[in-house]
A and B are shown apart, each in its own frame.
Chain A
């Protein structure tokens, strides 16, 4: 199956700092999404980004599909950004989408006040 590697596994920041999270994947994908799991366990969909660049407030993401990686940028981090950030992809099998996501192991982000 497709391999999804996220780095770094852990990251500790001071409030106000910027960070970049990386997701590498081993094969062509139909679908790539970034999620934030807050300390209470809720998964929030941040970006659907199989290619290109998107921005939403202090967060932005870029996927370079031809080079099989995606980056999530967090600027001016806040304590509420703490949690686990997951990258998830759907393997491109050449047929129609099956919507099945394979998750990376995540990056645990801690933002200290």
Chain B
């Protein structure tokens, strides 16, 4: 399985500011994803990060709010822009990989608190 790291692991931010979260994988992967987990809730897919093209966003998520970069096959960033307290969540990146290539593996997450 891939080893995935995220930076920062946690942050406390002021409303109106932006935070960029980094996701680094120890091997080249085709598919990278960004999820949000609001307090006490399940995971919701934000977008699929495509290498060399624009990210594909799920319903309810827009590029202006959550711009994503995917400059190569091992790295991606998610920016949470113009933050409000409602953006307080855990943000997780995941990759597909494994023997079947369909299994997904998750990073440790970034705990964001917006005050």
Within 8 A of B (CB), among A42-59: 42-43, 45, 48, 50
For the A-B complex, the count of residue pairs with Cβ-Cβ distances under 8 Å equals 56
What number of B residues sit within 8 Å (CB to CB) of A? Answer: 24
Count the A residues whose beta carbon is within 8 Å of the partner chain — how many?
23
Task: Name the distance in Å between A2's Cβ and chain B's nearest Cβ.
Answer: 12
Asked if A99 and B42 make an inter-chain contact with CB atoms under 8 angstroms apart, the answer reads no
Q: Mark B80-106, 1 if CB is under 8 A from A, else 0.
A: 000000000010101010101011111
Q: Is the CB of B92 within 8 A of A100?
A: no
> Which B residues have a C-beta under 8 Å from some C-beta of A?
1, 31, 33, 41-45, 48, 58, 90, 92, 94, 96, 98, 100, 102-106, 108-109, 111
Please list the residues of chain A having a beta carbon within 8 angstroms of any beta carbon in chain B.
30-31, 33, 35, 41-43, 45, 48, 50, 86, 88, 90, 97-106
